Structure 1
Amino acid sequence: MTLKKLILQIHLWLGLATGLVVFIMGLTGAIYCFQPELSRWVTQPYMRVEKQEKAFIPVSEMKRIAEAQLPGKKPTRILIKGPETAVTVQFSGKKPKPFSYAVFLNPYTGEVLKTRDMNTEFFRWILNGHMYLWLPQPVGKAVTGASTLIFLVMVISGIILWWPRNKARRKSSYKVKWSASPKRLNYDLHNVFGFYVSWILIFTIITGLYWSYEWTSKATYWAFSGGETKPKFPAPKSDRPAVAEASPALDRIFDKVTTAFPQAAGFQVNIPQTDSASVIVRAYPDKNTFYQADNLYFDQYSAAEIPVKWYGRYAQADAEEKAIRMNYDIHVGAIAGLPGRILMFFVSLIAASLPVTGFYIWWGKRKKKKPAAKPIVAKKKMELQPV
């Protein structure tokens, strides 16, 4: 068996083993590409509010109103996205079982627009399929992680199998012959489209592995830092003061951040879940990307900013930190703006089609008729002649 035939066998059997998983992840990934726009206008119309010429209610008031909607649960973060978008107060946890709720508020009046179990929301369902195949999270994460690794091997082996042996075949390898028979057309769709998207899929797969394997982000940091070990994410502590301040620390913290970043497109306020945790506020300069966010840490009692050496303000980030930050935006194509997300939509659709067209190629070869066997003519026994 030649090396190329061996690679073909590996490509074939790995594809049959993971084809369904790749199909689901590709299709759900394509749907999720336009989640921000579709959520705002289709699945979550209550996200839209009318702009008013007055200030938002205090953040502490947003927290208090949302807590009253879900007694016994503690908010985890508050998303403030602009003058025409509802404030989202999120509640999530793992005990007694995983849950995720959101309270949507009018930022000007505090009116409760919607209280929702986010696990029933359409795009959260799509995301759960993409990340966990709608299985329990530990099981689904293991399956999608392994399948993603296998898919990376398949993409690389597919490039090797596509590579033409000579110049004569090279020309036909770059384009689909649309007038060909269905069988040949399917072959071209698998090989030609697969080749073109492979170069983007490699980055999509590597960035997707971040959610399954910690070693991928460690390897990225190591590569961009010249061999250094990735530090842990900062978790500064808060010190309880002897005398409490008159105004809520959360409001004073948010006032500081909005004063420092008046042009920010949105903010995320992470609510401390313990008495010693800090308040984390993220200021986003762009509403469609996340990597440029300024992460600020504050004492939850004194509202004093706590300096950190890593994963703080974007201007202080070095190459290895920026590479880690860009992971999500590269994965969804947002790093290149709307054209990047449109491109990723088509790449994801083609990725979902590869198991289908590949299976059809394999099935067609199995069904191929064997050549008819030649009839065997029985030899007559030689008669013994008397001497």
Structure 2
Amino acid sequence: MFEKKKNKPLKYWIGKIHLWLGLTSGLFVCFLGITGCILAFEREIENVTQPYRNLEVQNKALLPPTQLKQIADKALPNKHAHSITYQPGKATQVVYYNFNPEYYYIVFVNQYTGEVMKVKNMNDDFFRIVIMGHYYLWLPPTIGQPILTSATLIFVLLLISGLILWWPKNKAATKQRFTVKWNAKWRRVNYDFHNVLGFYITWIIIFVALSGMVMGFQWFSKSVYFVTSGGKSLTEFSETFSDTTAKAKLKLNTSAADKIWQSYLTEDPTFQGSLDVHVPENEKASIEIAKNPDPETYWKSDYRYFDQHSLKEIEVKHAYGKFKNTSVADKIYRMNFDIHVGSIAGLAGKVIAFFASLIAASMPITGVLIWIGRKKKKKNPAVAEIK
């Protein structure tokens, strides 16, 4: 007669789910972790290795945005400028970005003299290439992004199931759940590394993973906003337009964009953040000004829109408007990218995000080694089981 099989405990089935989810998404998780490490200090590395980005503050008048655009247009003809960014201690960046035809250039210009410091094709930039891999796996966005975001979702489930598996059965087992036994054999060290360090990074990397899902899945992004706003729907970003019927009403000696830019400088002459000016490319477009008091992050930016013909401000209802008008949910929504890269907590946050990503990248490797070791034990029962 056959023996009656015992019912398997819940942790057994969770362990099976954890194993197969890990084998399914392991390569993608490892890839995302490694590329995330590379991107953690992107800005700091660029500032050191690309000296044309930096420019000493001088006691001279700044050239207006339309003049800098004209200078950049000569250095990069037949392209449409997207924005002009001023920041003390940095060369002005005139950004050229377009979807069809696709291109992305930055022209670095000395805002005091008009000298072109560098014309950079961002599609050839190392960090840009890594970003495209991290976001899209170097595939068309409609294909690559769902693949990587789905892998991130699986990774979130792995973190949750891993935490359940990590949870000690009793007080005696608690100590070994928090420390790596470094003087043990390598298999035990690998086991502890996977479990102990996996536990510690779970509380950090879960925010990195969830913020990645916000960027990758619209349904998840809207759900997070719905929860954080107490049941309100996310207002989608929409482009603002100027009233073309008011074209003849305004007579200016300078361009509308320069006029508004100058008003910002007059209003706050000691401003130390970044000022981003979007010069309208046609008569329908509006003028957008983004004033960011902390250029190391993005969420505090104050976005304002103006009619280029009347200079009247255009009010918006989406999250990317005046900072003082944003709700708690809007602020959380704006913080998402800064949370993802760790910059929300400054340099310390980036360091934490770097090591968390590095450990996350190692989890599939240590997990596979544990799995291979257990398969060998089944073939050789004499080998002592890891406790």
| TM-score, normalisation: structure 1 | 0.91
Q: Which residue of 1 aligns with 2:72?
A: 66
Q: Find 2:368's aligned residue among 343, 356, 359.
A: 359
Q: Which residue of 2 aligns with 1:382?
A: none
Q: Please list the CA deviations of residues 185-222 of structure 1 after superposition, one character each: whole Å capped at 9, or x if unmatched.
A: 01111110000010111111111112211122211221
Q: Please give the alpha-carbon distance, in whole angstroms, between the structure 1 residues aligned to 2:288 and 2:321.
A: 10
8 Å CA contact 1:220–1:323 kept in 2: the answer is: no
Q: Please list the CA deviations of residues 109-131 of structure 1 after superposition, one character each: whole Å capped at 9, or x if unmatched.
A: 11111111101111111211211
Give the alignment's Cα RMSD to 1 decimal.
Answer: 1.8
Q: Which residue of 2 aligns with 1:384?
A: none
Q: Please give the alpha-carbon distance, in whole angstroms, between the structure 1 residues aligned to 2:178 and 2:323.
A: 42
Unaligned stretches of 5+ residues in structure 1: 374-387
* Aligned-partner residue type, residue 368 of structure 2: F
Q: Find 2:286's aligned residue among 271, 278, 283.
A: 278
- Tell me the SS of whatever aligns to 1:362: helix
Q: Please give the alpha-carbon distance, in whole angstroms, between the structure 2 residues aligned to 1:32 and 1:11.
A: 28
Q: Find 1:89's aligned residue among 83, 91, 94.
A: 94
Once the 2 structures are TM-superposed, how far is the Cα of residue 105 of structure 1 from its aligned partner? 0.8
Unaligned stretches of 5+ residues in structure 2: 1-7, 383-387
- Tell me the SS of whatever aligns to 1:53: coil
- Tell me the SS of whatever aligns to 1:195: helix
Q: Which residue of 2 aligns with 1:255?
A: 262
Q: Please list the CA deviations of residues 226-280 of structure 1 after superposition, one character each: whole Å capped at 9, or x if unmatched.
A: 1111112253320131155331111012112233344241112234355322121
Q: Please give the alpha-carbon distance, in whole angstroms, between the structure 1 residues aligned to 2:91 and 2:336.
A: 27
Q: Find 1:170's aligned residue among 160, 167, 174.
A: 174
Once the 2 structures are TM-superposed, how far is the Cα of residue 302 of structure 1 from its aligned partner? 3.0
Q: Please give the alpha-carbon distance, in whole angstroms, between the structure 2 residues aligned to 1:30 and 1:318.
A: 32
Q: Please give the alpha-carbon distance, in whole angstroms, between the structure 2 residues aligned to 1:331 and 1:371.
A: 44
Q: Which residue of 2 aligns with 1:149?
A: 153
8 Å CA contact 1:282–1:295 kept in 2: the answer is: yes
Q: Please list the CA deviations of residues 9-33 of structure 1 after superposition, one character each: whole Å capped at 9, or x if unmatched.
A: 1111111111111111111111211
Quick check: which has more Rg, 1 or 2? 1
Once the 2 structures are TM-superposed, how far is the Cα of residue 371 of structure 1 from its aligned partner? 4.1
Q: Find 1:232's aligned residue among 232, 236, 244.
A: 236
* Aligned-partner residue type, residue 284 of structure 1: N
8 Å CA contact 2:342–2:353 kept in 1: the answer is: yes
Which 10-residue stretch deviates more, 260-269 or 166-175? Answer: 260-269
* Aligned-partner residue type, residue 191 of structure 1: N
Mapping 1:314-333, distance limit 5 Å: 314-333=323-342
- Tell me the SS of whatever aligns to 1:196: helix
Q: Find 1:348's aligned residue among 352, 357, 370.
A: 357
Q: Please give the alpha-carbon distance, in whole angstroms, between the structure 2 residues aligned to 1:208 and 1:56.
A: 38
Q: Which residue of 1 aligns with 2:4?
A: none
- Give the fraction of aligned pairs with identical amino acids, expressed as a percent: 44
* Aligned-partner residue type, residue 94 of structure 1: F
Once the 2 structures are TM-superposed, how far is the Cα of residue 135 of structure 1 from its aligned partner? 2.3
- Tell me the SS of whatever aligns to 2:305: strand
Q: Give the 3 Å change call, closer, same or farther, for CA 261–151 of structure 1 in structure 2.
A: farther
Aligned length: 370
8 Å CA contact 2:306–2:313 kept in 1: the answer is: yes
8 Å CA contact 2:242–2:309 kept in 1: the answer is: yes
Q: Find 2:83's aligned residue among 64, 77, 85.
A: 77
8 Å CA contact 2:28–2:151 kept in 1: the answer is: yes
Q: Please give the alpha-carbon distance, in whole angstroms, between the structure 2 residues aligned to 1:268 and 1:372.
A: 67
Q: Please give the alpha-carbon distance, in whole angstroms, between the structure 1 residues aligned to 2:143 and 2:113.
A: 43
Q: Give the 3 Å change call, closer, same or farther, for CA 215–261 of structure 1 in structure 2.
A: farther
8 Å CA contact 1:145–1:209 kept in 2: the answer is: yes
Q: Please give the alpha-carbon distance, in whole angstroms, between the structure 1 residues aligned to 2:362 and 2:215.
A: 23
Q: Please give the alpha-carbon distance, in whole angstroms, between the structure 2 residues aligned to 1:297 and 1:220.
A: 27
Residue 7 (str. 1) matches residue 14 (str. 2): yes
Q: Find 1:290's aligned residue among 289, 293, 298.
A: 298
Once the 2 structures are TM-superposed, how far is the Cα of residue 108 of structure 1 from its aligned partner? 0.9
Q: Give the 3 Å change call, closer, same or farther, for CA 18–324 of structure 1 in structure 2.
A: same
- Tell me the SS of whatever aligns to 2:100: coil
